[in-house]
Chain A
Amino acid sequence: MNTNPVFGQYYHADSWLHRLDPRTKILGTIIIIISLFLLNNLAVIVGAFGATLVLILSSKIPFTKFLRSLKMMTTLLLITVVFQLFFNRGKILAEFDFTLTTVNLAIGIAILVLFFFSRKIITKHRFFLFLALLVFCFYLQTVVKSGKALANYSLAIYEEGLYTSLKVVLRIITLLLISSLLTLTTKPADINTGMERLAKPLKYIGVKVSILSMMISIALRFIPTLINEAGRILKAQASRGVDFKEGKFMQKVTQIISLLVPMFVISYRRAYELADAMEARGYVPDAERTSISLLKYRARDYLTLLFVILLFSAIIALKVSDYAI
């Protein structure tokens, strides 16, 4: 029912996580994320990851929903793995000798050409296909030694590197899962209300919290509208002959302008009319107003928060007393 791609991943189900007060979930998420950054022991991080999987199971949300947010980060994760694997020195775990021969080079080029021509047939997951082929090319260099050798080199994987990359990757994945858990179990409007209530003390340092939260909720409301609108404009411009797929740099600039100018004009007008509509319905900025969303701390909220805080204190305590966690 929700098409909001930024905050609107909300997935309706009936679980204890859905029933928690948004404030509990927001605070809990923040504390857990900080804790994750404090952990530095692979076993403990694996434990945290396992606990997160249990949480996900208890949320009654299909796991595929979580994969979506992981998918967006795969490139980043892969880069991290490669970086950590090869740039950490220490005990050697495995060493590979590569020989670049004429045969290898020819096969490599053939694969590249095939990959290029397969673009019409295989359209999905091309990035992964590319990675697999790349790995295969390197693998070939360790086994095929025929042909004239062009270069010899070796790569080593160190124990340190393997551990660090595992830690970093698990940490990022856990982090993504935990934050998806918040957005999947909480309606955008409730996240907004929760943040507003949590930010209330900020008014003592002169922040206009009610206006800020109105801005957030209007953003929440209009992001999908604007995205739809951008889609419509792209189509309209395409029908006028603007080609958004091809073109050199200068043409690209013109294309972007042909999207931005109408977007800006329409948004300006929208804001103007929306302001009128809000004022006509009695909105006075920063005035006292009630809220339809009911936030109420219940026993389960206190228990959850207590648990999270205890966990956090334990981590800090162990850290301070030099335990390797």
Chain B
Amino acid sequence: MVEVKNLSFSYRKGTRVIDSVSVKIEKGEFVTILGHNGSGKSTLAKLLVGLLKADSGEIYLDGRILNEDTVDELRGKIGIVFQNPDNQFVGVTVRDDIAFGLENRCYPREEMLRLIDEYSRLVNMEKFLEYNPENLSGGEKQRVAIAGILAYNPDIIIFDEATSMLDPKGVREVNEVMSQLRGKKTIIQITHNLNEAIASDRVLVMKDGKIILNDVPEKVFREKETLKASRLDILDCMKLIEMIEATQGLKNKKELEEFLWELTFRK
């Protein structure tokens, strides 16, 4: 369980990147955070894993407050997959990379080998254990990153645009792993793609460091104006509905053609 109370943060004095955010995420929930570039999603994620220290407000993980004294211990409860597959691959081989988090927590070697075996299988990377990152695709590297986090068994996993640098195949592979984890782990997915949010239990929309919407996807997607105001692209199906509504006022074929023409090239 994650509980954030009145959290504020700024990199430089004066501009609040996170502005009095309060939110509660239940155990086992799958939550998507949406927001335009620079809305503060990654900053919030870094605050949650203790990479940044809040100016004010509190974060509770499983009821325990996150601060300088508890951060080393609470990091075992939470893991984060970042956007760039290359910049989070620490090991020289897949095996070493999955081991990294375990080595840091002083797991004995036998235990490490067992966990590496188990979790490399779970993400379908068991045949690549001796590979170097140079010989892996982006999707494969992200799956290794996931295995490296799962191995030390945190309750909460944050995916910060983990698929945005991948090709379609990589996106599919990572999403598959993510859906396997559903219900077993608390998942916080960060994206600016609304289509990726449909399947989640709850959607949070961020704008200028504030959470402006916090509801089930069906309700959030109905807030067309708010979504547009936070510069988010709306869902494809919503676009279709909008289009059909707009055509009501058209009188003849020529106007319809004109309208479709504009629609296609407006973007």
Q: A residues within 8 Å of B by Cβ?
A: 1-4, 8, 188-189, 192, 217-218, 220-221, 224-225, 228, 269-270, 273-274, 276-284, 287-292, 294
Contacts and interface: CB of A to CB of B under 8 A. Distances in A.
B90 A221 contact: yes
Contacts of A1: 130-132, 135
A188 B103 contact: no
Q: Is the interface of A mostly helix, strand, loop or mixed?
A: helix
Q: Is the interface of B mostly helix, strand, loop or mixed?
A: helix
A226 B132 CA distance: 14
Contacts of B88: 273-274, 277
A281 B79 contact: yes
Contacts of A284: 72, 104
Nearest to B132: A2
A292 B82 contact: no
A290 to B, nearest CB: 5
Contact of B90 (A188, A228, A274, A289): A274
Query: Which residue, A188, A274, A280, A290, has most C-beta atoms of chain B within 10 A?
Result: A280
A14 to B, nearest CB: 14
B51 A282 contact: no
Interface in B121-174: 130-135, 148-149, 152
B41 to A, nearest CB: 15
A62 to B, nearest CB: 20
B109 A221 contact: no
Nearest to A274: B87
Interface in B83-98: 84, 86-93, 95-96
A189 B131 CA distance: 12
Nearest to B103: A289
A290 B92 contact: no
Given A1-B135, A292-B112, A273 B82 contact: yes
B82 A288 contact: no
Contact of A281 (B101, B109, B134): B101
Contacts of A280: 49, 51, 75, 79-80
B49 to A, nearest CB: 5
Contact of B99 (A4, A228, A269, A292): A292
A290 B108 contact: yes
The 5 closest A-B pairs by CB, nearest first: A277-B88, A292-B99, A282-B104, A273-B87, A281-B101
Nearest to B113: A292
Contacts of B134: 3-4, 224-225, 228
A262 to B, nearest CB: 15
B259 interface: no
Given A3-B132, A290-B109, A292-B103, A270 B86 contact: yes
Given A1-B135, A218-B90, A220-B92, A273 B108 contact: no
Contacts of B92: 188-189, 192, 217, 220-221
A121 B148 CA distance: 53
A290 B49 contact: no
A225 B149 CA distance: 23
A72 to B, nearest CB: 22
B22 to A, nearest CB: 23
A228 B132 CA distance: 14
B263 interface: no
Nearest to B49: A280
Nearest to B73: A282
Contacts of B152: 281-282
